[in-house]
Amino acid sequence: MLKKSNLILVTLGITLMAFVPNCKKGAATATLASDAASRVYVAPGEKDEVYAFLSGGFSGQMSVYGIPSARLFKIIPVFSVFPENGYGFDEETKDMLKTTHGYVPWDDSHHVEASMTDGKQDGRWMFLNANNTPRLARIDLKSFETKEILEIPNTAGNHASPFATENTEYLMAATRFSVPVPQASVAIDSFSKGGFKGTVTMVKVDKNTGRLSIELQVLVPGFNYDLSHCGKKKSHDWCFFSSYNSEQAHKMLEVGASKKDKDFILAFNWVRAKECKDQGKAYNFGGEYVNNFHDENKPAVSTKLSGVKMLNPKDCPGMMYYMPTPKSPHGTDVDSTGEYIVGGGKLASVIPVHSFSKMMEVKDKKEHHSTEIEGIPVLKYESTLAGEVQKPCLGPLHTEFDGQGYAYTSCFVSSEVVKWKLGTWEVVQHLPAYYSVGHLSIVGGSSSEPYGKYLIAMNKITKDRYLPVGMELPQSAQLYDISSGKAELLSDFPTVGEPHYSQMIPAKLLMDKTAKLFPLEENKHPYATKNENDAKIVRLGSTVHIYMTAIRSHFKPDIIEARTGETLYFHVTNLEQDYDIPHGFAIGGAPNMTNLLIMPGETRTFKWVAPKPGVYPFYCTDFCSALHQEMQQYIRVSP
């Protein structure tokens, strides 16, 4: 067993450095492919080969890049308000950010998951987690817009989320911060006495509509559940969660949670869990939560829900097993065949790989159990071990697979990506990363059929890579070509927010399916105005509804009269039916509302309380035509 103090850890680090052959200092080893520039160059008019969807970490957003050019195409607001297009401000989308804590217009978004059919990316939806205020979102890949947000009750820190089963039957969501479940004011030191719990949540995804609902929660020991990946093919029924702080320390976790030599990967049989629920073994449990759904061209509907079905592991034998894994495992990744479960022990000196077949063979044999924690058998480390990658690097975190029998693991402490071979556990290549790399992403790399070719490394620190821009440097990712035997660095690119995790999808799966416009005749918005002749102003006491149309290059009605204190709702319908002709709408000095970007055929509502008397201009903010600058008018406010 290794000793645990920072000093010793650093010493250990330095010692290990000596073992790692290629692990020299940063840029000195930058082996840039000599023709890298031409391999990332996408000529004017040509299109990129791959879409990359990167979560923004603390930005609460998701961004879309083209690969290999690494050009930023779009920022999709998910959990954060977005003044650029009014997301989270206007009457249509403000309810998307409602939670049981009220309106929470930000979050900490880590993991992007792509919907799959038969383990292959199907290009229908992206899912994103909200760690801070536990939520899970579905982004539609036709409109590239957030369509649904589901709050997860009885949990804190929704970090191990949203990882999908092979057919997107369910998304998994597990606790990062164990807390009293149900919430209560208890002494913090009762954590170590089992007073804190975690939950694993199965979120059901409707096959046709994608609508989200909570199927079941499982009450698990109060560890910190960090990441997850679900099985594929033979391991289809299972999902795997890494955990740390099995010590259940509640202060100075830096030391307290790093004591034990091994923490666990939790193996969870979700098919068995559903079976136990159907047999009535789950009980009714409390928990308030909110589901927000934004249907096309309608105001979002926010629904308050309460209560879930809760299951205790001891009431459902065969559902959960702990596999000891060194040491404070962070990532847990399942290879494309579904056989190997790779742990990323962030303090470990090996990369441990569990074998699914071995686990199946030994899981119910007592002689392979070392103990049991709250009804969950703990299997012996050696019993499920397929092998260990010896001395790969420092701080191995996350692993992705290229479908050719190779795995790529990111190493945070030694800032590199190691390529190693499944089965022989031999390291075949060290690739420097700039710097402190977190997740990796290979095109289709977490599916059962990777498309391979490109790998991006998502870094936490940039230092000398770009022009300095003050104290906070651009966040960064790096692109590697992994199509040939030797992976090659192609480029660095700055990103929006922290590029935490990503899903990359071949462009041909998405590009022809994206929506070009909303057909006006299908606009079901209650305040839609589909014809300029129907534009009107309706007064109901001190509330004024303005049914407004926007088309190149004017609004109708264009002169508005109001009185101080009246509430005006501008329901603006964009009458255009042409690709890429949104119109904007903004009023000078509107304090609680930003801008609207209204897509062709769409209706959105700007709420404005008439301020002190005066004349207030309103105008189109999206350069729409030669006469865009003339697309402006006035509201007169009288006393």
Partner 1 sequence: MKTLLFQTLSKRNRLLILGVGLVLILVYLIPIWSISISAPQYPEGLGMQIWINKITGATPYDLKNINLLNHYIGMQEIVSESIPELLFMPYVLAYLIFGAFITELYPKVGMAILGIINLVIVGLVGLSDFWRWEYNYGHNLNPEAPIIVEGMAYQPPLLGCKEMLNITACSYPSYGGMILGLSLVVLVYILWDENRRKKSNVV
In the complex, the residues that contact Cu ion under the rule CB under 5 A are: 583, 620, 624, 631
Q: State how far the Cα of 511 lies from the Cα of 228, in Å rounded to an integer.
A: 29
136 binding partner (options partner 1, Cu ion, none; Cβ < 5 to 8 Å by kind): none
577 binding partner (options partner 1, Cu ion, none; Cβ < 5 to 8 Å by kind): partner 1
Q: Which residues contact 155 (CB under 8 A, 6 or more apart)?
A: 134, 173, 174, 175, 179, 181, 198, 199, 201
Q: For residues 367 and 522, which CB has a smaller minimum distance to partner 1 in the complex?
A: 522
Q: State how far the Cα of 497 lies from the Cα of 500, in Å rounded to an integer.
A: 8
Q: Which residues contact 557 (CB under 8 A, 6 or more apart)?
A: 535, 536, 537, 546, 548
**Residue 446 in contact with residue 503, Cβ under 8 Å?**
yes
Q: State how far the Cα of 488 lies from the Cα of 550, in Å rounded to an integer.
A: 50
3-class DSSP string for 319-343: CEEEEEECCCEEEEEECCCCCEEEE
- Cβ 572 to partner 1, closest distance in Å? 18
Q: For residues 472 and 521, which CB has a smaller minimum distance to partner 1 in the complex?
A: 521
312 binding partner (options partner 1, Cu ion, none; Cβ < 5 to 8 Å by kind): none
- Cβ 17 to Cu ion, closest distance in Å? 59
Chain center to CA of 325: 25
Q: For residues 234 and 516, which CB has a smaller minimum distance to partner 1 in the complex?
A: 516
Q: For residues 416 and 576, which CB has a smaller minimum distance to partner 1 in the complex?
A: 576
- Cβ 574 to Cu ion, closest distance in Å? 8
For the range 361-367, what are the long-range contacts, defined as Cβ-Cβ under 8 Å and sequence gap of 24 or more? 363/267, 363/318, 363/321, 364/318
- Cβ 584 to partner 1, closest distance in Å? 17
551 binding partner (options partner 1, Cu ion, none; Cβ < 5 to 8 Å by kind): partner 1
Element (H, E) at 15: helix 6-19
- Cβ 549 to partner 1, closest distance in Å? 13
218 binding partner (options partner 1, Cu ion, none; Cβ < 5 to 8 Å by kind): none
- Cβ 51 to Cu ion, closest distance in Å? 28
583 binding partner (options partner 1, Cu ion, none; Cβ < 5 to 8 Å by kind): Cu ion
515 binding partner (options partner 1, Cu ion, none; Cβ < 5 to 8 Å by kind): none
Query: How many residues in the chain?
Result: 639
Q: For residues 257 and 551, which CB has a smaller minimum distance to partner 1 in the complex?
A: 551
Q: For residues 45 and 639, which CB has a smaller minimum distance to partner 1 in the complex?
A: 45
| Residues in contact with partner 1 by the rule CB under 8 A | 517, 519, 551-553, 576-579, 625-627, 630
359 binding partner (options Cu ion, partner 1, none; Cβ < 5 to 8 Å by kind): none
Which of 323, 311, 313 minimizes the C-alpha distance to 380?
Answer: 323
627 binding partner (options partner 1, Cu ion, none; Cβ < 5 to 8 Å by kind): partner 1
- Cβ 143 to Cu ion, closest distance in Å? 20
Q: For residues 483 and 577, which CB has a smaller minimum distance to partner 1 in the complex?
A: 577
Report how far apart the first and last C-alpha atoms of the chain are (Å, whole number): 79
- Cβ 620 to partner 1, closest distance in Å? 15
- Cβ 551 to partner 1, closest distance in Å? 7
Calculate ∠ Cα 574-211-107, nearest 5°: 75
> What backbone torsions phi and psi does residue 488 show, to the nearest 5 degrees?
-130, 140
624 binding partner (options Cu ion, partner 1, none; Cβ < 5 to 8 Å by kind): Cu ion
**Residue 452 in contact with residue 404, Cβ under 8 Å?**
yes
- Cβ 622 to Cu ion, closest distance in Å? 6
Residue 457 is encoded by which pair of tokens?
A: 């490394």
35 binding partner (options partner 1, Cu ion, none; Cβ < 5 to 8 Å by kind): none
Q: For residues 156 and 551, which CB has a smaller minimum distance to Cu ion in the complex?
A: 551
490 binding partner (options Cu ion, partner 1, none; Cβ < 5 to 8 Å by kind): none
Phi-psi region of 169 (alpha: psi -120 to 50; beta: other; left: phi over 0): alpha
**Preceding peptide of 153 cis, ω within 30°:** no
Q: For residues 16 and 575, which CB has a smaller minimum distance to partner 1 in the complex?
A: 575
Q: State how far the Cα of 262 lies from the Cα of 323, in Å rounded to an integer.
A: 9
- Cβ 125 to Cu ion, closest distance in Å? 31
576 binding partner (options Cu ion, partner 1, none; Cβ < 5 to 8 Å by kind): partner 1
**Preceding peptide of 24 cis, ω within 30°:** no
Q: Measuring CA to CA, how many Å separate 243 from each of 111, 247, 446? A: 16, 11, 20
Q: For residues 549 and 605, which CB has a smaller minimum distance to partner 1 in the complex?
A: 549
Looking at 16-90, which runs of residues are DSSP E strands? 50-55, 61-67, 71-77
- Cβ 44 to partner 1, closest distance in Å? 12
- Cβ 624 to Cu ion, closest distance in Å? 3
Q: For residues 444 and 601, which CB has a smaller minimum distance to Cu ion in the complex?
A: 601
Residue 267 pairs in a beta bridge with 240, 321
276 binding partner (options Cu ion, partner 1, none; Cβ < 5 to 8 Å by kind): none
- Cβ 552 to partner 1, closest distance in Å? 6
Q: State how far the Cα of 419 lies from the Cα of 63, in Å rounded to an integer.
A: 27
Residue 291 is encoded by which pair of tokens?
A: 């589901």
Q: Measuring CA to CA, how many Å separate 99 from each of 72, 304, 307? A: 30, 9, 15
Q: For residues 271 and 627, which CB has a smaller minimum distance to partner 1 in the complex?
A: 627
Q: For residues 2 and 559, which CB has a smaller minimum distance to Cu ion in the complex?
A: 559
Q: For residues 472 and 522, which CB has a smaller minimum distance to partner 1 in the complex?
A: 522
| Alpha helices (runs of H) in 42-94, residue ranges in sequence order | none
Cα-Cα-Cα-Cα dihedral sign, residues 41, 46, 51, 52: positive
